[in-house]
Amino acid sequence: MYDVSEKSYTRQHLLADLQAGFSPLEAAKRKWTAIINGGEDFGTYSCACCETYFDKDNPRACLLVCPLGGTEGCCNGDYSRWVRHQNSEHMHEHTFYAIHCPECEDIALGILAIIETRLQNRYMGAG
């Protein structure tokens, strides 16, 4: 299970969190909190929503059920913005996705805010 004192949230952390009973959104919150606190993003390998909802035989099916990507999907939403920014602005000097500049931080904080809103809505019965 992920300990908030650790920098990065890895695949091993997500699997342990899911096994411990965390929802995919709760685990996603832990991942993005770690990124904001200086950790790396391991993409789909550390995404509990991808682990839970993605079906390699029917990749678009997750658009119907994923609470994070939703009908827009990660390829068209804020995560896509994160990836585009990382690739265009930082891959010449870094080989990993992380917060390297203020725009990175803004995008990551936006993703975390989306997760927190969806968690709140779920717990309040609004979705």
CA 87/CA 97 separation, integer angstroms: 8
CA 58/CA 6 separation, integer angstroms: 34
pLDDT at 75 over 70: no
CA 104/CA 111 separation, integer angstroms: 11
Rounded-to-10 torsion of CA 70, 76, 78, 81: 170
Residue 41's DSSP bridge partners are 97
Q: What is the pTM of this model?
A: 0.86
How does pLDDT run across 90-119, given as a tens digit for each residue?
988 877 899 999 999 999 999 999 999 989
Cβ neighbors of 70 (< 8 A, separation 6 or more) are 63, 77
CA 95/CA 50 separation, integer angstroms: 22
Contact 50, 83 (CB under 8 A): no
Mean pLDDT of 57-83: 77
For the chain, helix (H) and strand (E) counts, in that order, are 6, 0
Q: Count Cα neighbours of 113 within 13 Å in the Cβ-side half-sphere.
A: 7
